[in-house]
Each structure stands twice: as structure tokens, then as C-alpha cells.
Amino acid sequence: MPARGALAPGVPLGVYVHFPFCGVHCPYCDFAVEVRAEIPHDAYADAVVAEIAARRDWYAGAGALQSIYFGGGTPGLWRAGALARVIDAACAAFGVVDAAARAALEITVEANPGEVAAPHLEALVRAGVNRLSLGAQAFDDRLLRAIGRNHDAAAIPVAVAAARAAGIDNLSLDLMFGLPEQGLDDWRRGVDAALALAPEHVSAYALTIERGTPFGALDRAGKLPRAGDDVVAAMFQAGHDALAAAGLAHYEVSSYARAGRRARHNSLYWQVAGAAYLGVGASASSFRPLADGGGWRFANPRATATYLGAAHAGAGSPAPVHVERRTPADLENEAVWLGLRNIDGVDRADHRRRYGRDIVDGREAAIAACVRAGWLSVGDGRVSLAPGGWLFADEVATRLWRDDRP
């Protein structure tokens, strides 16, 4: 079904590659990950390459490939030669044929401190990787143990130094706040330690408790000591102020970047119908926008064994699961939700051009209530979150969701 309908012509394209293998399964993580004694490096690369070939035609007519993002899981564990084959396959499938075009791509690999040595990073750079997203999470061994990480704080600067030596000049650090036993001063010290490493980008996330995780079970039993909402809000503000003062501009709810270093791949997701992405690998999600203003969302099976089994059976790629046909009205709601998560907000003229009506139309009462609460700013040209609205982005999105069903 996702292949039906004409693709929206000329939309920028990204490729997401899910690598499901990890050295340890963190107790807060609800992603599709596996811990195996032996990672099937080549077999998994074979399956991903076959899937790219099988689904390439679904995206015929898209604009230029913008980015390739290896997420997981821990793709930093993938043997460099196998990962390089996937980069080659994506570039060949989507017409990135010369060295200059390939160098212009943003190619990101997620990795963990303590699991990336200099020779491996050098091999990744030779393969074309030019952006590293390092899962630091915290700079305190006590906190790292509390969240089940398999590295200590000392491994973070070592990994950053190795990345710089290998030629990575676009480095992102992931940080988490609202952790068990984490206080406001702990968080401030962690942000300062991250800034001392001079990253080009920081992703700062509040811990989310997912129901199906060990942390979810502990939380339901009242055994997970974590900060209250007021302290988490203070952590968000403290991090925001410190990162902004250091020259990392806040451009999305959880994202901060130096000039010219916004995550290009993630930005494709936030454009809704204005961009396309192909997700390959176990559990990977895709979006195929259509010329009629709607689109298809679909995902691969979550189980790695199911994914690999389809490839080994000669199917090229597994049948998508969780297939959704999104109407123009669905995507208009998503555009509001995701647009308001960005510092630029929603451009009213662009929204009218794309969806046929102003963002305000049909939302007048909800928008007025959000403005009164200090969460939303409405101007002639755009609607955006007010400074006091960042902590309430999801609440704003819920209030502004418009149900046009009869």
C-alpha cells in the first residue's frame, strides 16, 4: 500500500538506518534493541542494502538526498566496512554519484563513550561519516550507574578527543535530565562539563518513563526516585540558559546548535509533508508524502529475526507493518504540532499555501487560551511558542489538534 499514489515531487529526502544491537539494554529504553554476544555485521548489512534496493522506486521523483542517519541501538558498534556498504548503497540508489555530492551529505552515526576507539572512528570517516552523535547522558558516575549505562564519565572526553583526531568536526552530545537521584546542581555540572568539550550540537532530553521498561515497572511500584515537575522545569531552564550563553542556540524543544550546525536529518522529520524519509532496518519508520497533500507512514517489523528472515528468504525487504494512510487534514495537524516544536514556529503564509487555510482557522479559542497562559505567541507572519511555552509544547499541540471529522 505505501507504494500507491504519486510522490510529492521534488521533496528533500533522508535515509534512516536502524541498527538494533547494543552492548547493554538501558532500563529506560523502549527502542527496538538487542544485546547479542555476536553481532551479525555482514548479514545485517546485506539485509539493509537489499531493502534500499527494493524500496528505491517508492521514492522516485524525490529531490536530492540530504542525509543518512544511523540510529539505534548503537550503530557505533557496526563494523565500519559493513556500515560503509550501506552508505554506498544509499548514495547509489538516490543518485549521489560524485565525490562533491557525497561530501555535501550529512552522514550521522550514533555511538556511546567507551565503545569507539580511534581506528574505528577513522574508518567511519573514510566511509563518509561526518557527524557523530555521542550518547554521553551524564557526567557523573553515580548517575550513569543509576540509568544502567555501560560507560563512566571519564570515557566521554576520551571519545570526543578520538572523534576530533579522526576528523569529525560536527559533534553532538546527548544529555538527559530528570534522572533518578539527580539534583539541579548535578545537572548544572553536567551541562558545564559538556560545554567544556565544545560540541557543535547538544540534545538535552528529559527522562521519559516508558511503560514496558524496567524503569516503568519501578515507577509504578513507587521505587524510582526522581525529581518532581518543578525541579525538572528548573533543570530545563538552567540547561537552556547555559547552552545559549555558550553560543548553542535553542532551535527545537530538545535541540541546541551552533550556527550552521542544526541537525539536517532531524529537520526533515519536522517538515511533515515537505520532506520524505526512508527508514531501513528492523523497526525503522518511513514517510512517503503524496502529491495530493496526504502521505503514507509505515514501519518495518520490530523483531530483528523477522527482519533478517525476510531478507534471507529473498524477499528484498519485509512487508511493512503499522501502515497508515495520512490525509491532508492529518498532516495539517502534524505540521502544527511539529512546527511549534521549532524556534521558527509555523509560517502562516506557507501554511495557507500548503494546506489551504491559516493555522488559526478553526483553532481560535484554543489559541487564545494558550496565549493567555503565556505559552503561545501569535503574529501576522507566524505562530510560535512563547518563551514560557517550551515546557508545555505537548499540551499546546493537544489543544490545537483540530478534529474535522463529521
SS3 25: coil
Q: What are phi and psi of 286, to 5 degrees?
A: -130, 160
Q: What is the DSSP string of 192-249?
A: HHHHTT--SEEEEEE----TTSHHHHHHHTT------HHHHHHHHHHHHHHHHHTT-E
| Residues 38, 186 share a domain | yes
3-class SS shares of the chain: helix, strand, coil, % to 5: 40, 20, 40
| Residues 140, 70 share a domain | yes
Q: What is the pLDDT of residue 406?
A: 44
| Residues 237, 332 share a domain | no
E-strand ranges in 26-87 read 65-72
| Residues 227, 333 share a domain | no
| Residues 254, 336 share a domain | no
Q: Which of 268, 296, 313 is the last residue of a domain?
A: 268
In the beta sheet, which residues pair with residue 137? 175
SS3 70: strand
Q: What is the DSSP string of 313-329?
A: TT-SSPPPEEEEEE-HH
| Residues 264, 334 share a domain | no
Question: Would you say residue 54 lies in a domain?
Answer: yes
User: Grid coordinates in use for 271?
Assistant: 517538515
| Residues 244, 342 share a domain | no
Question: Would you say residue 145 lies in a domain?
Answer: yes
Q: What is the pLDDT of residue 404?
A: 66
| Residues 338, 264 share a domain | no
Q: What is the pLDDT of residue 1?
A: 78
Q: Which of 268, 284, 299 is the last residue of a domain?
A: 268
- CB neighbour list of residue 152: distance below 8 Å, 6 or more residues apart: 114, 141, 144
Q: Which of 219, 236, 268 is the last residue of a domain?
A: 268
Whether the Cβ atoms of residue 290 and residue 6 lie closer than 8 Å to each other: yes
For the sheet containing 346-347, what is the strand order? 346-347, 382-385, 376-378
Q: Are strands 65-72 and 106-111 parallel, antiparallel or unpaired?
A: parallel
Question: Would you say residue 275 lies in a domain?
Answer: no
Question: Would you say residue 307 lies in a domain?
Answer: no
| Residues 333, 256 share a domain | no
Question: Would you say residue 277 lies in a domain?
Answer: no
Cα–Cα distance, 302 to 112 (Å, whole number) = 22
| Residues 243, 375 share a domain | no
- CB neighbour list of residue 78: distance below 8 Å, 6 or more residues apart: 19, 21, 39, 41, 44, 45, 70
Question: Would you say residue 379 lies in a domain?
Answer: yes
**Per residue in 151-192, pLDDT tens?**
999 999 999 999 999 999 999 999 999 999 999 999 999 999
Q: Which residues, given as ranges, of the chain have pLDDT below 50?
A: 406
Instruction: Supply the CATH number for residue 233's domain.
Output: 3.20.20.70
Q: What is the pLDDT of residue 315?
A: 64
Q: Which domain holds residue 368?
A: 328-406
Instruction: Supply the CATH number for residue 405's domain.
Output: 1.10.10.920
Question: Would you say residue 278 lies in a domain?
Answer: no
- Report how many domains make up the chain: 2
Q: What is the pLDDT of residue 226?
A: 86
**Per residue in 228-242, pLDDT tens?**
899 999 999 999 999
- CB neighbour list of residue 229: distance below 8 Å, 6 or more residues apart: none
| Residues 345, 254 share a domain | no
Q: What is the pLDDT of residue 273?
A: 80
> At 105, which amino acid appears?
L
Q: What are phi and psi of 382, to 5 degrees?
A: -155, 160
Among the listed residues 253, 252, 247, the one whose alpha carbon sits nearest the alpha carbon of residue 262: 252
SS3 174: strand
| Residues 19, 102 share a domain | yes
Question: Would you say residue 117 lies in a domain?
Answer: yes
Helix (H) / strand (E) element for 136: namely strand 131-137
